[in-house]
Amino acid sequence: MTQDAYTRTAPFYDLWHEDGHVPEIRKLLPPLLDGVTGGVLEIGAGTGLITQVIGDTVAGEIFAVEPSLGMRAILLSRLSDRPALRERVTVLPYGALDADLDEPVEAVVMISVLYGFAPEERPKLWETLARQLRPGGRLIFNWRQRPVGVPGPPEVMGSYRVGRHTYEIAGQVVSATPEKATSRFSYRILQRGVVISEDIVETDGYRPTLDELTTELTAAGFTPTPAPDGLLTWHHP
Ligand SMILES: C[S@@+](CC[C@H](N)C(=O)[O-])C[C@H]1O[C@@H](n2cnc3c(N)ncnc32)[C@H](O)[C@@H]1O
């Protein structure tokens, strides 16, 4: 998926992701940020659902990297409704590999973004993130070993009433290997059962194993620390 396929699907994001990873991250992330008093870099802040969690947990500055215009627009809208949070969130309108903060942060948080990086991009990602961390800083991201997807027909994955309309997301795996899956999603709006708008996006998702991540992150100077199932945390000396 190109970065800005997210713009086309942004209207559906908050509706759908409340049924996805976000409630779990709301529970699991705050304890992992315990003791953080300095800045936090958030990679792929999206519409700000996780930015809000970080903001409710730490008192310092947040640097929110988000390359998609549509996702960023919702993030800014969320911040404009929360003036106290807006004071300390700086929104950076580019991708993770271009991150270059003025001063190092104490933590990097990256939720549901890793799958978008191809294996050949990941070493640069880890090096870039390591450079943004102060000594002793931590890197937190979500990861789970998942079974290889099975290609098949589209299935409705979420359906939400918005006034008189239904916002519906259907998805299917197009092809899958242990390393990479290509999926197709249809984002459509229905009125009285009739589709009045539809956007189809195809996305490539990469699924590194824990061994691969351990090798890459160790090469970038990180060491693993305990984390609850679904999240990984790494310290930078
Ligand atoms: C699935 S969303 C996750 C958003 C948010 N972290 C959450 O959990 O709600 C993935 C986000 O990563 C962003 N993204 C895509 N490529 C990126 C890159 N190279 N660097 C940083 N963010 C990226 C997308 O624009 C999108 O907003």
Q: Distance (Å, rounded) from C-alpha 210 to C-alpha 193?
A: 44
Q: Cα of 84 to ligand 1 centre, how many Å?
A: 24
Q: Cα of 66 to ligand 1 centre, how many Å?
A: 6
Give pLDDT, residue 3.
52
**Below-70 pLDDT ranges, the chain:** 1-3
Residue-range domain boundaries for the chain: 5-145+208-235, 155-206
pLDDT tens digits along 97-153 = 999 999 999 999 999 999 999 999 999 999 999 999 999 999 999 999 999 999 999
Give pLDDT, residue 57.
98
The stretches of the chain forming alpha helices (DSSP H) are: 5-17, 22-32, 49-57, 69-80, 83-86, 122-132, 210-219
Give pLDDT, residue 1.
40
> Residue 183: CB within 6 Å of ligand 1?
no
Q: Atom 17 (ligand 1): residue with closest C-alpha?
A: 95
For 155-206, CATH gives 2.20.25
Give pLDDT, residue 211.
97
Nearest C-alpha neighbor of 112 from the set 203, 236, 224: 203
Q: Cα of 113 to ligand 1 centre, how many Å?
A: 5
Pocket test for ligand 1, best of 66, 111, 113, 114 (most atoms within 8 A of CB): 113
Give pLDDT, residue 5.
86
Q: Atom 4 (ligand 1): residue with closest C-alpha?
A: 46
| Identity of the amino acid at 208 | P
When the candidates are 3.30.1380.20, 3.40.50.150, 3.30.420.40, 3.40.50.10860, the CATH number that belongs to 5-145+208-235 is 3.40.50.150
Atom of ligand 1 nearest to the CA of 65: 21
Q: Atom 15 (ligand 1): residue with closest C-alpha?
A: 3
Give yes or no on whether 5-145+208-235 and 155-206 have one common fold: no
> Residue 166: CB within 6 Å of ligand 1?
no
Q: Distance (Å, rounded) from C-alpha 167 to C-alpha 190?
A: 7
> Residue 68: CB within 6 Å of ligand 1?
yes
Q: What's the half-sphere exposure (Cβ side, CA atoms, 13 Å) at 52? A: 20
